[in-house]
Amino acid sequence: MKNQLKPILLVVCVLVCASLAAQDIPATNSNQIQSLFQPRPGDCGGYGAITNKFTYIDGHYANLVGFYGGFYANHSLLIGISAAALTNDIKVPFEHRAEPLENLSYMYGQVGMMTEYVVASNKAVHVAFNLFTGGGFTMQYERDDWHNDNEFDWDGDRDEDWFFVVEPGVQVEVNLLKWMRFSPGVSYRSVVNSNALGLSDSKLSDISYNVTLKFGKF
């Protein structure tokens, strides 16, 4: 099912983004056309977002916390950067441990470029399409327990591996305040060229359900 969903979602996302980018923003009057790359003064801004993704890695629940933000043009197009990382504990199966005698966990992270196209941004409820492209990494590490001093120890890393990630998504966006928006959505993380022990491309690729808060000048 995943292998069938992946190409469909990617093709749909590319077609939607290409279609939207090819269209001009509606004119403010009959003699003036406002396009994405020729914004009028006052039509540029920017925003940052914090997001939590609920997904799976190797069949195990994975919680990814991330952020993204950047330059926002014509109340419609964001171009910026994004990063996210795994926060919960996913144990490495014995047969895939880089060091069999140690109790190791998986780490996952990704960082790269984020583009987002917002439709009818001034409406109280509207839709936003986004696309993450960049690098991802995994490694195995020893995740110790919390100590009495409330410090969390990260003791070394093993089997570090880097690969390419593309993640198209869609959100329903709600304008809570002029400067804050709430955006639940769904995306599909597609990983290419993973060589990590026990983590093939298909085990790292999956649907993510996410909740996002955005702050800035929209």
Q: Is residue 31 part of a domain?
A: no
- Domain extent for 153: 2-22+45-217
Q: Categorize the per-residue pLDDT at 24 as very low, low, confident or very high, splitting at 50, 70 and 90.
A: very low
> How does DSSP classify residue 23?
S
- Other C-beta atoms closer than 10 Å to the C-beta of 192 total 12
Q: Is residue 29 part of a domain?
A: no
pLDDT score recorded for residue 143:
85
Our count of domains for the chain comes to 1
Chain-wide mean pLDDT for the chain? 84
pLDDT at 62 over 80: yes
Q: Which tens digit of pLDDT belongs to each residue from 143-168? A: 875 444 555 555 567 999 999 999 99
pLDDT at 2 over 70: no
As given in the structure block, the two tokens for residue 207 are: 């649907």
pLDDT score recorded for residue 5:
47
User: How far apart (Å, rounded) are the C-alpha atoms in residues 51 and 65?
Assistant: 6
Q: Which tens digit of pLDDT belongs to each residue from 75-94? A: 999 999 999 999 999 999 99
From 54, 62, 51, 48, select the one nearest 91 (Cα to Cα). 62
Percentage of residues in the chain having pLDDT higher than 70: 75
Q: Is residue 63 part of a domain?
A: yes
Q: Categorize the per-residue pLDDT at 41 as very low, low, confident or very high, splitting at 50, 70 and 90.
A: low
Q: Is residue 36 part of a domain?
A: no
pLDDT score recorded for residue 42:
60
Q: Is residue 33 part of a domain?
A: no
Q: Is residue 28 part of a domain?
A: no
pLDDT: which is higher, 165 or 10: 165
Please report the beta strands in the chain, taking only residues with DSSP state E, as ranges in sequence order: 25-29, 32-34, 44-57, 60-73, 77-86, 90-91, 104-119, 125-143, 154-177, 180-192, 206-217
Q: Is residue 17 part of a domain?
A: yes
pLDDT at 14 over 50: no
CATH at 104: 2.40.160.20
Q: Is residue 204 part of a domain?
A: yes
Q: How far is CA 166 from CA 10, 119, 158, 201, in A?
A: 9, 22, 25, 12
Q: Is 58 helix (H, G, I), strand (E, B) or coil?
A: coil
